[in-house]
Amino acid sequence: MAVVKVIQVKANLANAVAYISNGAKTEGGTLVTTNYEIHTDDPQELAASMHQSIDESIGGHVKGGVLAHHVIQSFDPTDHITPEEAHRLGEEFAEEISDGNHKYVIATHVDRHHIHNHILLCSVNDETKRKMRVQKNTLHQWREISDRLCEAHKLSVIQSTPVRRYGKSMAELYTGARGEGRKDEIRTLIDATATRSKNFDEFKQLLTSSGVNVTVRGKHLTYQDQQTGFKIRDTKLGLAYNEENVMAKISRRALHRITFNEKQIAKRTDETVSVWLPGTKHQEKITIPLDRIVRDGKTLHAWLGEDTEQVVTDRRGNYVRRLLPDQIYDHFSPPDMDLTDIVTEKLPITAGISDAQRRYYAVQAVKLDRLRDSARELSAAQRWIRGWETDLDKGISQLTDLITTERAAFRADVAAIADETERDDQEDRATAAKDWNDDAELAHLGKREHRINEMQTDLKALKRLRERMLAQQEERSRARSKTRGIRR
């Protein structure tokens, strides 16, 4: 029996070739073959040949386009197939799904409890120069081809099962009965990788070479199994696997975080980043090792040891003073904000001439406020609870996290704009003007502020809804208690 999965490769094609042809997984490279190169097994050269086909294709190379299709064909251990047999079957499979007109590299991995083939299939047909389109029914057709080949080789065929919202991974399909869940494997892999890493970039590279991708999304990390495409957020793995604690594992110490925009960077080297201290008019800066930096788009997080003094230098690099991490927050905002007291002040109602009229209008205003509140609660619940398919408490928690992330990025943007405005060195102004657009930056800032305000209003509505639901539960509980007392 063989399970077939497909992942699209849109970047780092050479890395993908290097991963599947890893000698530790392929018996020293003896289980790696291609249909287009016989003089080299170098991943860079193998990828270069595919890139050449892509460049010569109709439409050529498109940024963000599919470079190759990574097909995984995984066999059930109960079939007792040998690595050589699996590799030959994989070659037959690759020839059929490519019609022999697409370059491919096939590697058979034997480092896990089940043998599996990795096939990197170039997206371009060398005969027609057109790119392959993997549509909804393509994977189904490929699975039928794989099943037919398995039957021809006297192997079992997996039976169709109802579609799950989150499909089972290879490991879950074959080892679930023994309790070897993929989540535990990813946790173990993260722990082992963090202890071997000197910085976050190296952590990402080592994890990728081990078959798991990691991406930064706001304050969260998302891990993806390359073999199955299975994605999982750090919160699903546990607190020990979020960005803060991964960085703590890498550095072996407790850390403080500061957030800044890339426009605040004064200088980059191969090993460090110098950042202007907000509020110093680009006269003072701190220098942070690259191994303490995590990038999230244009926003960067720097993780500083809680007992490490930070040296401040002037524009020429001369010593000015030292700062402890908590003193750095005099310039950079603290990483977390208390969102429990988000309120909006309502103006007093003064409509009406007589006292009776004013009382009447006040009552109507209260009713209108309640109606608006109810509408906002329903709208917020639709957006954050039903949209995320979660319950009220989790929705509030997730929205709070999202607001915190947005506010951190907003503060970094504000600091960057403020520094640009405060800068009084004319030469620096002329240099910065080349890539600085005040109107565009302020418009971006305004949109982010509006988004934060909307989320904060929704958060208040959800908390109000939760309080009312709790009050209703308590009222029903008291009513039941009274009823039981009367019956007695």
pLDDT average, residue stretch 340-352? 39
Percent of all residues in the chain with a pLDDT value above 90, rounded to a whole number: 18
**pLDDT, position 396:** 80
pLDDT (0 to 100) of residue 1: 58
Q: What is the pTM of this model?
A: 0.38
Question: What pLDDT score was predicted for residue 7?
Answer: 85
Domain count, the chain: 4
Does 112 lie in the same domain as 74? yes
End residue of a domain, out of 207, 233, 251:
251
**Region 335-346: what's the mean pLDDT?**
38
Q: Are residues 243 and 269 in the same domain?
A: no
How does residue 255 score in pLDDT terms, banded at 50, 70 and 90? low
165: Cβ–Cβ under 8 A, 6 or more apart, which residues?
none
pLDDT at 166: 45
On whether residue 345 sits in a domain, the answer given is: no
Q: What is the per-residue pLDDT for 61?
A: 87
**Residue 348 falls inside a structural domain:** no
218 shares its domain with 297: no
**Considering the domain boundaries, does residue 270 fall inside one?**
yes
DSSP state of 65: -
Q: Mean pLDDT, to the nearest integer, of 78-84?
A: 86
Select the highest-mean-pLDDT range: 30-44, 60-74, 164-178, 400-414. Answer: 60-74
First and final CA of the chain: distance in angstroms? 67
* Position 379 in a domain: yes
Does residue 377 surpass a pLDDT of 60? yes
DSSP 29-51: TTTEEESS-SS---HHHHHHHHH
**116 plus 198 within the same structural domain:** no
Q: Taking residues 141-162, what's their average pLDDT?
A: 77
Same domain, 129 and 31: yes
Strand ranges across the sheet with 293-296: 255-261, 299-305, 293-296
Residue with tokens 């040891």: 305
What tens digit of pLDDT does each residue of 225-240 get? Answer: 887 778 888 888 876 6
The verdict on 51 and 150 lying in the same domain is: yes
Nearest-angstrom CA–CA distance, 146 and 438: 57
Q: Are residues 14 and 154 in the same domain?
A: yes
pLDDT of residue 250 exceeding 60, the answer is yes
* Highest-scoring range by mean pLDDT, 34-43, 164-173, 245-254, 356-365: 34-43
**Higher-pLDDT residue of 60, 249:** 60
Which residues form the domain of 188? 182-251
- Of 91, 126, 160, the one marking the end of a domain is 160
**Stretch 321-347: mean pLDDT:** 57
Residue 162 pLDDT exceeds 50? no
What is d(CA 19, CA 22) in angstroms, rounded to the nearest whole number?
A: 5
Question: Is there a single domain that holds both residue 233 and residue 375?
Answer: no
| More confident: 346 or 36 | 36
What are 90-107's pLDDT values in tens digits? 999 999 999 889 999 999
Instruction: Evaluate whether residue 6 is within a structural domain.
Output: yes
The answer to whether 435 touches 424, Cβ cutoff 8 Å, is no
Q: Is 170 within a domain?
A: no
Q: Which pLDDT belongs to residue 77?
A: 75
pLDDT at 84: 93
- Residue 487 pLDDT grade (very low, low, confident, very high; cuts 50, 70, 90): low
| Residue 339 CA: distances (Å) to CA of 114, 345, 397, 456 | 49, 16, 11, 8
| CATH code: domain of residue 41 | 3.30.930.30
Stretch 125-130: mean pLDDT, rounded?
Answer: 92
Q: Examine the pLDDT at 121 and tell me if it is beyond 90.
A: yes
Mean pLDDT of all residues belonging to the chain: 75
CA distance 381 to 385: 5
CA–CA distance, 371 with 201 (Å, rounded to integer): 51
Model pLDDT, residue 442: 58
Q: Residue 49's pLDDT is what?
A: 92
Instruction: Provide the pLDDT confidence category of residue 379 given band limits of 50, 70 and 90.
Output: low
| pLDDT of 357 above 70 | no
**DSSP assignment string, 213-252:** EEEEETTEEEEEETTT--EEEHHHH-GGGSHHHHHHHHHT
Q: Please indicate, yes or no, whether residues 125 and 263 belong to a single structural domain of this protein.
A: no
Query: What pLDDT score was predicted for residue 200?
Result: 86
Do 278 and 407 lie in a common domain?
Answer: no
Is pLDDT of 50 > 90?
yes
- Check residue 423 and give its pLDDT: 52
Q: Which residue has the higher pLDDT, 54 or 75?
A: 54
Q: How far is CA 426 from CA 98, 157, 363, 421, 429, in A?
A: 60, 73, 60, 12, 5
Q: What is the pLDDT of residue 329?
A: 75
Between residues 21 and 383, which one has the greater pLDDT? 21
pLDDT tens-digit map of 288-315: 888 778 887 788 888 776 556 788 999 9
Question: What does the DSSP 8-state code read for residue 57?
Answer: S
Work out the average pLDDT over 216-228: 83
Mean of pLDDT values over 449-459? 79
Asked if residue 339 belongs to a domain, the reply is no
Least confident of 37-51, 146-160, 268-282, 333-347: 333-347
| 44 inside domain | yes
The answer on pLDDT for 448 being more than 50 is yes
Q: Are 188 and 131 in a shared domain? A: no
The pLDDT of residue 4 is 85
Residue, of 5 and 407, whose pLDDT is higher: 5
Q: Which of 160, 193, 228 lies at the terminal end of a domain, its last residue? A: 160
Q: Please indicate, yes or no, whether residues 319 and 384 belong to a single structural domain of this protein.
A: no
d(CA 376, CA 379): 5
